[in-house]
Amino acid sequence: MSSNHIETQAIRTQIERSQYLEHSNPLYLTSSYIFEDAEDMRASFADEKDRNIYSRYSNPNTSEFIEKICKMEGAERGYAFASGMSAVFSTFAALLNAGDHIISSRSVFGSTQTMYNNILPKWNISTNYFKINEIDKIESLIQPNTKVIYAESPTNPAVDILDLELLGQIAKKHNLILIIDNCFATPYLQQPIKFGADIVIHSATKLIDGQGRVLGGVTVGSEALIQKIYLFSRNTGPALSPFNAWVLSKSLETLPVRVDKHCENAFKVAQFLETHNKVNLVKYPFLKSHPQYELAKKQMKLGGNIVAFEIKGGIEAGRNFLNRIKLLSLSANLGDTRSIVTHPASTTHAKLSEDDRLQTGITGGLVRVSVGLEYVDDIINDLNQALN
Ligand SMILES: *Cc1c(COP(=O)(O)O)cnc(C)c1O
């Protein structure tokens, strides 16, 4: 019954049905599971049996969700977390030792950046950065204690593309673990393991849920690496709740059709913005004008749902634009059915120095649109009236 097609992998799993022969996988709200007898209990705790013991370790709903992501990403095994950030933190905490060193892309999610600056240094774990167009400088950053290369592609919020295959080659050559946060692409548009990633992380809160309801995260990779992450996590407790796992597994069933439509709408929005005289620059991976257009075409099935553009007139123009928006939401989320606009320079990235902002491609007039599933002309009309 197994199939290689990602649309089928997002829907079908080998679920065991109860006596009711339900078609859709039910929600298992149970914190623990019972044993037949003393021997069953002993063998289960000795890891001699592959079964549920306690929902901090595993649960049928989280297992179903993980199984789908693993198949879609081409990974051997995974673990599901309460949020994207608990996936990022637990992955670092499980794989790194005190005193280790990370080489990271400069353009990473804000909380990941905060982790590098304020949290990992507690264990003397340090980070050096490379810019998105300076992957060739990574080798000069490697130290004897370097363990990990970490990157996102496409990046937030500037929608730049990193060469995953090149990153994979460098990681392999120096025996480093390549971790890719694949949140913006989803497992449907891009599978980093094909290009040499060892670990793939998702915030499932974004396009995987896709309807702005639940938080979730997942890390997938090889059996050996995930075993370390599993042992760390089953003892420290960042597990995804069964309810959220059930929601997310249902969401995956429609991920391919939703993302197809998100990308179709985003491409039209990007094309419209390119023609507007108040717009300096539009960044969308599948626009020919994108600096890494060829790379995006190689790595991704479609261009994703995030469009970044720069309004003429800098930070004030960006804020004025947001105040004139009527239909779209001003919200911190992305990947929702509802389109969302944000102005990174005055919000998510306001705490950075202007120099640090510019290093990650965030100019004063940069606006990020998470293009949703409303009728595309309604989205375009709202952006148009706010620009004019
Ligand atoms: C949102 C996001 C995260 C964090 O995920 P949460 O579910 O909010 O904890 C990590 N990486 C990227 C790229 C994100 O967009």
* CATH number, domain containing residue 93: 3.40.640.10
Both tokens of 82, joined, read 């309460």
State yes or no: pLDDT of 140 exceeds 50: yes
Q: Among 111, 152, 184, which residue has the most ligand 1 atoms within 8 Å of its CB, making it the best to mutate?
A: 111
Q: Among 150, 180, 205, which residue has the most ligand 1 atoms within 8 Å of its CB, making it the best to mutate?
A: 205
Q: Which domain holds residue 157?
A: 6-252
Q: Does pTM surpass 0.85?
A: yes
4-29 tens-digit pLDDT: 899 999 999 987 788 899 999 999 99
Backbone φ and ψ for 325, nearest 5 degrees, come out as -65, 135
We report the CATH number of the domain holding residue 361 as 3.90.1150.10
Q: Measured between alpha carbons, how far is 51 from 41 in angstroms, rounded to an integer?
A: 11
State yes or no: pLDDT of 3 exceeds 70: no
Mean pLDDT, range 119-148, rounded to an integer: 96
Residue 358: per-residue pLDDT: 80
Mean pLDDT, range 127-150, rounded to an integer: 96
Q: Measured between alpha carbons, how far is 89 from 175 in angstroms, rounded to an integer?
A: 21
Whether residues 368 and 334 fall in one domain: yes
DSSP reduced 3-state for 102: strand
Half-sphere exposure of 355 (CA within 13 A, CB side): 0
Mean pLDDT of the chain: 95
185-224 tens-digit pLDDT: 999 999 999 999 999 999 999 999 999 999 999 999 999 9
Assess contact for 94 and 231: CB atoms under 8 A: yes
CA of 39 to the centre of ligand 1 (A): 43
Whether residues 295 and 283 fall in one domain: yes
280 belongs to a structural domain: yes
Specify the length of the chain in residues. Answer: 388
Domains identified in the chain, total number: 2
State yes or no: pLDDT of 126 exceeds 90: yes
Residue 346: per-residue pLDDT: 85
Instruction: Pick the closest to residue 164 from 154, 175, 174 (CA basis).
Output: 154
Whether residues 260 and 248 fall in one domain: no
Q: Are strands 340-342 and 329-330 parallel, antiparallel or unpaired?
A: parallel
Q: Are strands 366-370 and 306-311 parallel, antiparallel or unpaired?
A: antiparallel
Cα dihedral 218, 223, 224, 228 sign: positive
Q: Measured between alpha carbons, how far is 161 from 283 in angstroms, rounded to an integer?
A: 10
b/e 149-177 (16+ beta carbons within 10 angstroms → b): bbbbbbbbbbbbbbbbeebbebbeeeebb
Whether residues 277 and 145 fall in one domain: no
